[in-house]
Amino acid sequence: MDSDAPTSVCPYCDGPMRVTTMRCDGCEVDISAAFPMFRVGNLPAEHQRFIEMFVLAGGNLKTMAEQTGVSYPTVRNRLDKVIAALRDEIAKTRKVKGTILDAVDRGKMDADEAGKIIKRI
């Protein structure tokens, strides 16, 4: 990761960082608020780099293996670790009490509403 890239960990105490100011370079307007951090931004830097490489390789693990000179199983194993870390990060911010299909089965949501939610995901 670049030395000037944002981080989600304090370089002094290793505590979590929050985004509180955004700036427009065009008109130099600053906006201060408690901006939510992206979950991917909370992952370790090596996981973030893997995600970047994965996207740039078009999501093709075979291409990533060729570009990095490691075996396909190694790349696949690394992807599994990134997925697990991202799931852990999501679990920190979201409590799931069932699935969309559970809500439909229990009559708490109709199929059209469930379809709209699934399309937004």
Is the residue at 32 inside a domain?
yes
Is the residue at 1 inside a domain?
no
Q: According to the model, what pLDDT value does residue 69 have?
A: 95
Q: How confident is the model at residue 67 (pLDDT cuts 50, 70, 90)?
A: very high
Q: According to the model, what pLDDT value does residue 57 have?
A: 94
Of 28 and 66, the structure prediction assigns the larger pLDDT to 66
Q: How far apart are the first and last CA of the chain?
A: 28
Q: How many residues does the chain have?
A: 121
Is the residue at 8 inside a domain?
no
Is the residue at 2 inside a domain?
no
Q: Report the alpha-carbon distance of residue 25 to residue 32 in Å, rounded.
A: 15
Asked if residue 53 has pLDDT above 80, the reply is yes
Count of domains observed in the chain: 1
Is the residue at 87 inside a domain?
yes
Asked if residue 98 has pLDDT above 80, the reply is no
Asked if residue 6 has pLDDT above 60, the reply is no
Q: According to the model, what pLDDT value does residue 50 have?
A: 95
CATH number at residue 81: 1.10.10.10
Q: According to the model, what pLDDT value does residue 36 have?
A: 61
Mean pLDDT of the chain: 81
Q: Report the alpha-carbon distance of residue 40 to residue 8 in Å, rounded.
A: 10
Mean pLDDT check: name the lowest of 26-30, 62-66, 86-90, 99-103.
99-103
Is the residue at 80 inside a domain?
yes
Is the residue at 42 inside a domain?
yes
Asked if residue 106 has pLDDT above 80, the reply is no
Is the residue at 13 inside a domain?
no
Asked if residue 5 has pLDDT above 60, the reply is no
88, 105, 121, 104: which is closest to 113 by C-alpha?
A: 104
Identify the domain containing residue 68 by its residue range: 19-120
